[in-house]
Structure 1
Amino acid sequence: MAEKIATRAAYGDALVELAEKYPELVVFDADLAGATMTKGFMKNYPERFFDMGIAECNMVGVAAGMATCGLKPFVNTFAMFAAGRAWEQVRNSVCYPHLNVKVVGSHGGLSVGEDGATHQCIEDFALMRAIPGMMVLCPYDSHEMRLATEALLYYEGPAYMRLGRLAVETVTDTIEGYRFESGKAAKLREGSDVTIIANGMMVQMALAAAEMLAADGIHARVLDMHTIKPLDQQAVLEAAQETGCIVTTEEANVLGGLGAAVCEYVSEVCPVPVIRNGVQDQFGRSGKAPQVLKAYGLCAEKIAEMARTAIALKR
């Protein structure tokens, strides 16, 4: 069985590994270094680490100022605060002047579990995607997260990246032909009957759903859409043309996120059935993460059910 590592842990390790290679990298946190996993960078590079306290808006403003001096700031807090509380500063102080600041939201989605609806940020994709010029990412596993973190250091401009709290299986480092490229989907499984497009921890659910479908003779293509914006339109178009129907799955509100992005594009260029798996425009609730995810249909069984429905609709 593949090793399970939380993407927030992989991200924290990546910051430390990349720090020497990128001396211009500076890291900000809002009193959550132990949770966002920036604590390793704080320990090893204290002169390049800035704990701003519970002042997320100020943190973004200071990071924007440092970006104008040629530094590469990564600002870190929970997704609820990064995308919610500091949204105005992200929009006006970072994205409007197109500054090189990376906003990193940890503990995104329902898998925050017991912390409940107030901290289960399901709106971050929609909020960040709506800002002009903002790149939006949600990597799947530890290997992909490390690659995404370095890719952001190369990328000049604002970006938002979501991290997960729960550990997920690391599989992308074992898939033949896998490569990470911002804005390009990774095809993890071939298929001709339906395409499942996923991001974040829902990729593992999509792969499990594909196995369930295979047992019934249904061949599901699985796309890891780690970059929501810009969307890999070519991969989506090929999926629509070659499989005839699509299921999207994300640990977020179906309004404004990955599913919405796919629907918007497909409806314009190649209308096919698209069914969106995700949070159906409602708040989360407190509970053990696996139970909460299942209660909201964020599981392999529900994805497989939706895939069968999508296949029936294309007929």
Structure 2
Amino acid sequence: MEMRKVLCNVMEDLMNKNDNIIFMDADLAEANGTMPLRKVFPERAFDVGISEANMASMAAGMSAYGMNPYICTFTAFSSRRICDQIAISMAYAKQNVKIIATDAGIASELNGGTHMSFEDIAVLRSIPGVTIIDVVDEFQLKEVLYKTVDYKGVVYIRIPRKDVPKVHDEEYEFNLFKADVIKEGKDITIFATGLMTNTAVEAGKLLENEGIDCEIISVPTIKPIDKETIVKSLNKTKKAVTIENHNVIGGLYSAIAEVSCAECPSHIISLGVKDHFGEVGSIKFLSEKYGMTANDIVDTCKSMLK
């Protein structure tokens, strides 16, 4: 099922259960699949138009009056365009707002560079009180939405819009404060987040065929990051590769490296977008261009183990 369909279905269920939930779009309800919410909840689901900063301020104001607001737009517009509102109106003011950020990174595909955010995690990691989750698949998205509905603070939920490969299944349980050990291993660790988690799993299978026992850890919550799981793995393998659908500056690699430097110095190499703007292209094309494929992970791991 497409991620936007899961988003709409879960939000409808949550809004049926909680009259305080408000859902706002910024002229992208059709693209994000949330238009049906307006028919079911005409007084609590609405469009503010191409006015993202106003939407963010409205959400902060609604939170101040005890409501539980969600805002939804493309990743580029839910981070850099409303950065000041997130920092001051939401986080500084200690409001409770959920930000649904769609079309994350290369998942933006044909929308191109202006809509392709590779810096959103880095920007928001620097703001106190913002929780950041880079969602892997539809099963995790469902869990994240249910597990964070009553969470206090600003929650930034970063997702692709369309169908993505499944990493988890219906039995999956999300823990906001824990990374998921997908596979245990002893030779090298692969840390992955969001869309790149399935790529890491593919790489793990290729490495296994070559006799390399890698540990694969999915890190959906970038902030606050699960230091315990990271340190435990690095103490065992001493080597790691990070893979992310984001600029390697300020995202998963930076977060992992910060933990490593403070707790367990290790050899870590980053894979992801190397300080570039985006461009028009398919996920396959962009993954190859930016060195984010399973083969790139395999080559990097093998090089580190020589």
AA aligned opposite 2:238: G
AA aligned opposite 2:264: C
Return the alpha-carbon distance in structure 2 between the equivalents of residues 113 and 289 of structure 1.
Answer: 6
Residues 254-289 of structure 1: CA distance to partner in whole angstroms, max 9, x if unpaired? 000111000011011101111111000011221222
The match for 1:292 is 286
Which of 109, 115, 135 in structure 1 is aligned with 2:111? Answer: 115
Return the alpha-carbon distance in structure 1 between the equivalents of residues 186 and 2 of structure 2.
Answer: 31
1:308 and 1:278, CA in 2 relative to 1: closer, same or farther beyond 3 A? same
The match for 2:259 is 265
Uncovered stretches (5+) of structure 2, i.e. residues with no partner: none
The match for 2:178 is 184
Task: Single out whichever of 100-109 and 166-175 deviates more from structure 2.
Answer: 166-175
The match for 1:146 is 142
Is this contact kept in 1: 2:104–2:160, CA < 8 A? yes
The match for 1:137 is 133
TM-score (norm 1): 0.94
AA aligned opposite 2:72: N
1:160 aligns with 2:156: yes
**Displacement of 1:129:** 0.8
Which of 270, 274, 288 in structure 2 is aligned with 1:276? Answer: 270
**Displacement of 1:167:** 1.6
Residues 203-245 of structure 1: CA distance to partner in whole angstroms, max 9, x if unpaired? 0000000000000011111111000000000010011011221
Return the alpha-carbon distance in structure 2 between the equivalents of residues 288 and 263 of structure 1.
Answer: 30
Query: Structure 1 segments of 4 or more deviating over 6 A?
Result: none
RMSD: 1.3
AA aligned opposite 2:73: T
Q: Tell me the SS of whatever aligns to 2:287.
A: helix
**Displacement of 1:174:** 5.9
1:174 and 1:12, CA in 2 relative to 1: closer, same or farther beyond 3 A? closer
Q: Tell me the SS of whatever aligns to 2:39.
A: helix
Return the alpha-carbon distance in structure 2 between the equivalents of residues 304 and 290 of structure 1.
Answer: 17
Is this contact kept in 1: 2:136–2:167, CA < 8 A? no
Residues 62-117 of structure 1: CA distance to partner in whole angstroms, max 9, x if unpaired? 11111011111011111111101111111110010110011121111012112111
Uncovered stretches (5+) of structure 1, i.e. residues with no partner: none
The match for 2:191 is 197
1:174 and 1:73, CA in 2 relative to 1: closer, same or farther beyond 3 A? closer
1:68 aligns with 2:103: no
Paired residues in the alignment total 306
Return the alpha-carbon distance in structure 2 between the equivalents of residues 138 and 162 of structure 1.
Answer: 5
Note the 1:208-227 alignment, pairs <5 A.
208-227=202-221
